[in-house]
Structure 1
Amino acid sequence: MSAHASTAESRISVRDIRLRKGQDPLVCLTAYTAPMAGLMDPYCDILLVGDSVGMVVHGLPSTVGVTLDMMILHGQAVMRGSRRALVVVDMPFGSCEGAPEVAFANAVRVLQETGAQAVKIECAPAVIGNIRYLVDRGVPVMGHVGLRPQAVLVEGGFRARGREAEEQNQILAEMRGAVDAGVFALVVEGVAESLATELTAQCPVPTIGIGASAACDGQILVTEDMLGLFESSPRFVRRYGDLRGLVASAVERYAKDVSTRRFPGHGETYFSTRRKAGAPLVDIPAG
């Protein structure tokens, strides 16, 4: 039995997530590295290797520049660091919009090279057919409707969606299309509470909100936003820590200790057992 197989057996499954519809809320966070995945794993039902890694870790202005190789690299790291949570990897911009065979090949590569249990796809109308193609061939897919970060160039920025009747109907139609295509869960981002409530009531699979109110079947946040790593964050984020302040304070203290030669100290220094400090070196004969 492979390591991937034995690990997968002990994890929360896609079926487990689907059965949580209307039950206790699903706890979800993004993860990009093994150490962070290990810290979050005991508390999360889903760890999402989000394409937000492009902005959070690599400093990109949007998720559009994220590549398949980047997602696979971070997916591998998260799988190494976690044992319990269902791990879902985002399919990046351009990886699922073309021919269904190409989308399938890309998704298969993600699952095979990372060992993750599912992929997530933003549910633009053009990819609904591809989602069905993937699901029919054994690829579990989580959908994503509402504010779609990969559509930032078309939408003209990151803005809440569904405030007008036309957009509300469009998002509801995207939800129905995603469900008909076979998604096992649906991320709902950046919509008003009334729409999130209606969408969750109509959706037969769990909805996972991000900026979509407590009406959803679960919640997800970008972990670094939640931990306060950045100076500013979206209004829907509640900060549960001050990682930015802790890191800045630690680096400042380190810099002072280095500059005043207080670091490294005696406890952080290796000493020879062969001679005392200052004693002459002893020549060791060759041979």
Structure 2
Amino acid sequence: MSTTFQLDTSTSRANPTPAPMKRLTVPAIRQRKKDGVTAEPVVMLTAYTARQAQLLDAHCDLLLVGDSLGQVIYGLPSTIPVTLEMMANHAAAVVRGSYHTVVAVDMPFGSYEKSPEQAFENASYLLKQSGAAAVKLEGGAAMAETVAFLNARGIPVMGHVGLTPQAVNILGGYMARGRSDAEAQKIVSDAVALDEAGAFAIVVEGVVEPIAIEITKAVSCLTIGIGGSAQCDGQVLVTEDMLGMFERVPRFVKRYENIAETIERAVVRYAQEVKDRTFPAPEQTYQPKG
């Protein structure tokens, strides 16, 4: 038995409760791919809060505490301003709200690019502060040395190639990558370099589909598609996107619900009942006894 912090929905407080040690591990996830084939695709979604993690946990293999929280949670224009402290705090909440999934946390812009030593210091900080099992960083061959450095020192690393949001200022926007032969080859070679450096998985984002398929066949580690291909070894989406929390979403997002409309309808009803003085009703108030 191990102790994990499970959200007590009756009190809205996180209380320590015993739970069987059923959490997946990075090696168990990595072993899904054997001889180039992943019989059971990996399910990954983003999570930023304890309650969100609790709802997603039983249905996912990986929960990614993405730096997309900069836009989704904080309303920032990009992921660039996200800090280590933001990532550590949200990752800790997700770990507290889960017991089954592997929790990976994004390393924010500026926290790993300078040197492998800088990356180790900041990655170890994130894992210590949050209890997450792995980190994710963006970049290809240029980051291979860093990936190998972290991996050799006990920190599992997920790579990220193709459309890399932290490089938006260099890329010039969030358009699909790999439309030229030269760029396509660079993306593939970047993925191979990360695989050879020891990454246990690589997010392949926003690339033309043949590139995602080629990478999946070329690397021994898992590929996680987001705007890639159904032939990747797994898939990830930003949870708020697939739930319909935003009006505009990328082409590669499928909306499975329209939660924004549900919330708005509920708020409209609440506002009207407040104005009508029909809320709170007797059943929502405390009356004198006797």
Say if 1:98 and 1:246 are closer, same or farther in 2 by CA, change over 3 A: same
The aligned length equals 273
Q: Deviations over 1:85-137 (max 9, x none)?
A: 11000000000011222210100011111111100011244322111111111
Alignment partner of 1:73 is 2:89: yes
Q: Deviations over 1:221-268 (max 9, x none)?
A: 000000000011011111000011011111111110111111111010
C-alpha RMSD of the superposition: 1.6
- Alpha-carbon distance in 2 for matches of 1:271, 1:213: 59
Question: Identity across aligned pairs (percent)?
Answer: 52
The equivalent position to 2:210 in structure 1, one of 194, 204, 210, is 194
SS in structure 1 of the partner of residue 135 of structure 2:
strand
Kindly provide the amino acid, as one letter, of the partner of residue 169 in structure 2: L
> 1:279 is matched with which residue?
none
Cα offset, 1:64, TM superposition: 0.5
- Alpha-carbon distance in 2 for matches of 1:208, 1:268: 47
- Alpha-carbon distance in 1 for matches of 2:251, 2:238: 13
- Alpha-carbon distance in 1 for matches of 2:19, 2:110: 30
The equivalent position to 2:28 in structure 1, one of 11, 16, 21, is 16
Q: Deviations over 1:114-170 (max 9, x none)?
A: 111100011244322111111111100011111000000111111110111101111
Kindly provide the amino acid, as one letter, of the partner of residue 184 in structure 2: Q
Kindly provide the amino acid, as one letter, of the partner of residue 185 in structure 1: A
> 1:152 is matched with which residue?
168
Pick the structure with greater CA Rg: 1
> 2:235 is matched with which residue?
219
SS in structure 2 of the partner of residue 38 of structure 1:
helix
Structure 1 unpaired stretches of 5+: 275-287
> 1:128 is matched with which residue?
144
SS in structure 2 of the partner of residue 127 of structure 1:
helix
Structure 2 unpaired stretches of 5+: 5-17
SS in structure 1 of the partner of residue 90 of structure 2:
helix
Kindly provide the amino acid, as one letter, of the partner of residue 243 in structure 2: L
Q: Deviations over 1:254-285 (max 9, x none)?
A: 110111111111010012226xxxxxxxxxxx
- Alpha-carbon distance in 1 for matches of 2:139, 2:151: 14
Say if 1:68 and 1:247 are closer, same or farther in 2 by CA, change over 3 A: same
- Richer in strand (by share): 2
> 1:209 is matched with which residue?
225
Check the 8 A contact 1:17/1:185 in 2, yes or no.
no
- Alpha-carbon distance in 2 for matches of 1:13, 1:39: 20
Cα offset, 1:7, TM superposition: 7.4
> 2:113 is matched with which residue?
97
Which aligned pairs between 1:54-73 and structure 2 lie closer than 5 A? Answer: 54-73=70-89
Check the 8 A contact 1:193/1:215 in 2, yes or no.
no
SS in structure 2 of the partner of residue 253 of structure 1:
helix
Kindly provide the amino acid, as one letter, of the partner of residue 53 in structure 2: A
Say if 1:83 and 1:215 are closer, same or farther in 2 by CA, change over 3 A: same
> 1:106 is matched with which residue?
122
> 1:41 is matched with which residue?
57
Check the 8 A contact 2:143/2:194 in 1, yes or no.
no
- Alpha-carbon distance in 1 for matches of 2:158, 2:274: 48
Say if 1:62 and 1:206 are closer, same or farther in 2 by CA, change over 3 A: same
- Alpha-carbon distance in 1 for matches of 2:85, 2:253: 29
- Alpha-carbon distance in 2 for matches of 1:2, 1:237: 37
The equivalent position to 2:276 in structure 1, one of 247, 250, 260, is 260
Say if 1:180 and 1:156 are closer, same or farther in 2 by CA, change over 3 A: same
SS in structure 2 of the partner of residue 186 of structure 1:
strand
The alignment's TM-score, normalised by the length of structure 1, stands at 0.92
Kindly provide the amino acid, as one letter, of the partner of residue 201 in structure 1: K
Say if 1:8 and 1:56 are closer, same or farther in 2 by CA, change over 3 A: farther
Cα offset, 1:2, TM superposition: 7.5
Q: Deviations over 1:11-59 (max 9, x none)?
A: 1110111111222111110000111110110100000000000001110
Kindly provide the amino acid, as one letter, of the partner of residue 244 in structure 2: G
Q: Which runs of 4+ in 1 moved over 4 A?
A: 1-4, 6-9
Kindly provide the amino acid, as one letter, of the partner of residue 93 in structure 2: A
| More divergent stretch after superposition (119-128 vs 216-225) | 119-128
SS in structure 2 of the partner of residue 42 of structure 1:
helix
Alignment partner of 1:162 is 2:178: yes
